[in-house]
Amino acid sequence: MTGSSEPGPGALRLAVLVSGSGTNLQALLDAVDAGGAPFEVVVVGADRDGTGGAERAAARGVPTFVCRVPDFDSRADWDAALARLLAEHTPDLVVSAGFMKVLGPEVLAGVRVVNTHPALLPSFPGAHGVRDALAHGVRVTGCTCHWVDDGVDTGPIIDQRAVRVEDGDTLESLHERIKVEERRMLVEVLTHLAADRSWR
């Protein structure tokens, strides 16, 4: 990335963790490309091989790593290894962007982490927020950006966006509309956190 798309001095250094296609990551990369984003993606980590998110990062020249739980004797060993890999890139903030693993104490002790979740927390936490909201029959759901703590989707809420459930919505159609709001929210939250760093 060159010219006006290059983050300015003092840009918030982001490490982004992914497990899937990386559409939230793409939103961040696109914001940097558009110019004026007060953040930069300095590394992308994945919890498995062959993720679309890591491929998107590699195509842009962003460093990547893979840290798989099965490669370690214990979850604690995995957590310690992930903490070391992140620390090598000195991020100001870690973004859990569709990362389907619970982060442990070593990672959380080293850096602040934000996460996006496809429901209006504290309702419908966990891996199936969209499915659970649809099954419950709510008429409004949405997405949440929150600080990560040692629970599952229990950290302090930073921002939320509402998405109406339409008649005839399927899991896929509802999730796609939520993702649109989730990407917009994440860029706006990180822009705000870059401007006001009292959270550090």
Active-site residue flag, 89: no
Which amino acid appears at position 64 of this protein?
T
Contact 64, 54 (CB under 8 A): yes
Which amino acid appears at position 70 of this protein?
P
Please say whether the dihedral angle defined by the alpha carbons of residues 155, 26, 37 and 103, taken in this order, is positive or negative.
positive
The Cα diameter of the chain in Å comes to 49
H or E stretch at 23: helix 23-34
Residue the block writes with tokens 């709510």? 138
* Number of other CB atoms surrounding residue 97 within 10 Å: 26
Task: Tell me which of 117, 136, 146, 192 is the catalytic residue.
Answer: 117
- Beta strands, E only, the chain: 12-18, 39-46, 64-66, 93-96, 113-117, 140-147, 157-164
Catalytic positions are 117
